[in-house]
Amino acid sequence: MEIILEIIVPVFGIVGIGYGAARLGLFRPEATKGLSAFVFDFAIPAMLFRAMATTALPEQIEWGYLISYFGGGYGAWLIGTLVSLYLFRRPGAEPAIAGMTGGFSNTVLLGVPLILTTFGERATLPLFLVIAFHSWQLLSVVTIQAEVGIGARDEMRRLPANVLKGLVRNPIIIALLAGVAFNLSGLTLPHVVDTLTETLGRAAMPCAVFAMGASLAGYRLAGSVGEAGVGVVLKLALHPALVWLLATHVLTVDPLWRDVAVILAALPVGVNVYLMAQRYQAGIAPAVTAVLLSTAVSVLSVALVLHLLEVR
């Protein structure tokens, strides 16, 4: 009960308020777009820059942690792909979208506020290490897989340039790299910059989850519940289970870092899955249905994961 009251209700409650406000017309689509832009372009980058500029960095990258998280994700991704190919007999890019559904978490809009609410600033480094590797890597993989599925080669030739272009234009990646660079310089963050980024960063968590709820109000269940259901089970159950198994019994991962990885893996399907489905006009119905269903079910599943991890 304490977990539900102190962690789940504050985070998912704001998601529900944003969703309700948008559905009732109290928060218009253009306002949602503007708030999302503020979160992605200003609030979260400010928070990330300050965190990485002031956090003690490890002497080396925790590869066991990253392998545990992304290994679990790719395990769920592979199973989702195979189920789409051989059970549902889906052609072209659809297996790629199905695989992505099982392994792509909502790490920014939901992961950042949930992890920091749960563990505080001590979880800053493992959280942002996953974020630094997350979207650009997984979006590259789904692009390659989708292009192979539909037999296109021109897009694959342009992939390295497109990935690089996406990285240099992403405010979150820029903030992470700038924060790390400043940290490595050995300089002390000026007080005025520290205060400014801290104040702006405080808006990131409530605005992010409100924007997520308001954004979900623009989607509707689109059918293909069977395929979507498989994706939801892979995402909310198999992905975190595989991460826990790797981090606990295969690799040696610090308990805090392990818990951060498992909770990030237990988050619902990221909206980018739907956006990629739209891009390829493949698997749109199961993608949007999985995003909505996994977000609703994750209120209970994330609480269960927190309980099993004995988070206090």
Domain span holding position 244: 2-308
Grouped pLDDT means (10 residues each) for the chain, 312 residues: 68 89 93 89 89 79 92 97 94 92 91 88 88 82 82 67 70 85 91 94 87 83 84 97 96 94 95 85 88 91 90 72
Strands (E), 18-157: none
Amino acid identity at 96: A
Q: Would you say 22 and 214 are in contact if contact means Cβ atoms under 8 Å apart?
A: yes
230 membership: H or E segment, kind and range: helix 225-233
The per-residue pLDDT for 129 is 87
Q: How far is CA 164 from the centre of its chain?
A: 20
* pLDDT given at position 229: 94
- Number of compact structural domains in the chain: 1
What CATH number should be reported for the domain holding residue 203? 1.20.1530.20
What's the distance, Cα to Cα, between the start and end of the chain in Å?
Answer: 11
pLDDT at 3: 59
